[in-house]
Structure 1
Amino acid sequence: MSSHPSAVVADGLVKRFGDRRVVDGVDLVVPRGAIYGVLGPNGAGKTTTLRMLLGIIEPDEGERILLGARHPRDAGDRVGYLPEERGLYPAMKAREAIAFMGALRGLDWATGRARAAEMLEAAGLGHAADEKIRKLSKGMAQLVQLLGSVVHRPDLIVLDEPFSGLDPVNQERLEALILAERDRGATILFSTHVMAHAQRLCDRLAVIAGGRRRFEGTVDEARGLLPPQVRYVPHHADTALAGLLPADAARDGDGWRFQLPAEGIEGLLTRLIAAGYGIAGLAIERPGLHEAFVRIVGEAAAAATPAPATERAA
């Protein structure tokens, strides 16, 4: 079973709570060695899906294969899991807390303590190795719990909303740790409703909304669902300018924004220059993952999902 080409496979997972289908026939295939994001608005069914994959709860329908095992708990010692509900023993020191979590996965205590010290140093938290958890900031304690989830060097790392509650510095530390674990050869599966992290990190992603998978593919494939946007700023403007622009053009500060015409931008620019408006600014921007997410799940479901100003990339 360990030779299975994918780290995680979900086939038609269904979970009901009462009369409600929280997960409604979700399929996933997570390649080995990939960073794979499960995206969706709050209440989409992401956490329930991850818990079924890990064998924490059983599906009402469907099958799972986890690291080649059809019974997820058979692969338990090869998995690192950071649940959405965080929790560490507050009286434990950071290094001991990490070693303890490793011991729960079969790692001997001495190796766990040694690795914990190395990992804390690499994460910029070496000074906190002998601090009790209760004295750490929320973000630092969360990173300690994450280190404890991976100290046994698992083949699969599952993170449920790992960026929730972290300040920007600790978000950067977490992103660096995820990339380092991927480079080590681990597969990372994480859920989030914040598109910026997924756009930067994911090799592939799935979008879940209303308990169903609405999209699966790469970040570029998701962004490709929408046409590029043009932002045009003239040297001067008057009431006649709008008549030369595409029908979907809308004011955007000192300029206009519209979809890139199917025939390209050259003809439009020629007409604008000939009419004397000139070009003070011009940018063609690919839609960000947030915009694609809105298109996939619908405006209402995405209304509560913030779009960072830095998310768009050319």
Structure 2
Amino acid sequence: METMLTVDKLGKSFKDKQVIKDVTFDVRKGEIMAILGPNGAGKSTTIRNIMGILYPDEGTISFSGHEAIPRYKIGYLPEERGLYKNVKVMDILLYLAELKDYPLKKARERALSYLKKFDLEGQENSSVEELSKGMGQKVQFISSIIHEPELLILDEPFSGLDPVSQELFKKEIRNLAENGTAILLSSHQMNLVEEMCDRLFMMHNGERIIYGDMDDVKEKYANFKCTIRGKNDQRELAGLPQVERVEQDDDTSMLYLAKNVHAASWLKNLPESLSVQELSIDRISLHEIFIDIATDGNIAQKEGAANA
């Protein structure tokens, strides 16, 4: 798969504090790549260096093998929204398309098509300040893709969206990837990241912690968890083989299993006296991996970084 964006050994400091160190990853054509980390991890600084808003102290950023990234080939949805509030929706979309040297006639056609797709038909003459937060988010998203970018950077794209609008965004982001757009996505909504992304790059304290295919990361870092609904003694469950810890919430018990447990074989350890109304076994979620790292847990320290 063709590599569109390459970030190699990126470093950036502000005064005496190094904010990012030796950050290295790539984004490939037609994939959705997640860049993740707790607040202060260095995600925004990394994105701003890619966008040319900041300049790195160390390392290189290249696009399709070239050091200079043509601005018209990049779409950017920032976390902090910046549309002119007193400007009409169509005017702002055409203005931003013109800044990317995109043909205005084609931009108008695409704008009308996307406004209809995102349930904003008839809003082209409304000012941005007249729109709800969710509607404004849709217009901001349209502005980032109206010029058909080859690389799309999305920073918290689902912010302010209701579930229906989230589904619209998810569908469109997948469509863009299927049509060859390279997408770098930053979000704190781990369930959506886990559902949508092909690979991930997770940062903490300015450095890479985890990097790899989503499935490989889950296999390497996400041990199995068995959830049992039924009234059971926590101490008895904790004494079962290969159970690292047990958490209980009312009549639901969550058994966190040791690494490399063979799930089907482990189930044979459950005693017949166990109260089971429902039982499921799966790997811990990306959300739980994220929480472990954000709270200085030991997932990454025990395993090291996964390589793509």
Shorter-chain TM-score range:
0.7 to 0.9
Contact 1:207 1:213 in 2 (8 A): yes
Q: Could you tell me how far apart the structure 1 residues matched to 2:222 and 2:198 are?
A: 19
TM-score by length of 2: 0.86
Contact 2:8 2:59 in 1 (8 A): yes
The alpha carbon displacement at 1:241 in A equals: 4.4
TM-score by length of 1: 0.84
2:22 counterpart letter in structure 1:
G
Aligned to 2:213: 218
- Report the aligned-residue RMSD: 2.3
Which of the residues 101, 105, 115 maps onto 2:100? Answer: 105
Identical-pair percentage = 34
The answer to whether residue 228 in structure 2 is matched with residue 228 in structure 1 is no
Aligned to 1:165: 160
Q: Could you tell me how far apart the structure 2 residues matched to 1:184 and 1:140 are?
A: 25
Contact 2:225 2:281 in 1 (8 A): yes
Q: Could you tell me how far apart the structure 2 residues matched to 1:139 and 1:254 are?
A: 38
- 1:46-85 aligned at under 5 Å gives the runs 46-72=43-69, 75-85=70-80
Contact 2:232 2:251 in 1 (8 A): no
Specify the SS of the correspondent of 2:122.
Answer: helix
CA deviation digits over 1:112-156, x for unaligned, max 9?
111100111112221322222111112211211210111111111
Aligned to 1:120: 115
The alpha carbon displacement at 1:239 in A equals: 8.7
1:241–1:233: structure 2 CA closer, same or farther, 3 Å change rule?
farther
Unaligned runs of 5+ in 2: 298-308
Q: Could you tell me how far apart the structure 2 residues matched to 1:96 and 1:39 are?
A: 34
Aligned to 1:38: 35
Aligned to 2:268: 267
- 1:275-314 aligned at under 5 Å gives the runs 276-277=273-274, 279-295=276-292, 297-299=293-295
Q: Could you tell me how far apart the structure 2 residues matched to 1:228 and 1:189 are?
A: 29
Q: Could you tell me how far apart the structure 1 residues matched to 2:75 and 2:141 are?
A: 9
Contact 2:222 2:285 in 1 (8 A): no
Specify the SS of the correspondent of 1:37.
Answer: strand
Question: Which one is further off, 77-86 or 151-160?
Answer: 77-86
Q: Could you tell me how far apart the structure 2 residues matched to 1:239 and 1:105 are?
A: 61
1:205–1:240: structure 2 CA closer, same or farther, 3 Å change rule?
closer
Unaligned runs of 5+ in 1: 302-314
CA deviation digits over 1:18-73, x for unaligned, max 9?
1111111100111111111100111111111011122221100001112332022x
Equivalenced residues, count:
290
Q: Could you tell me how far apart the structure 2 residues matched to 1:241 and 1:25 are?
A: 46
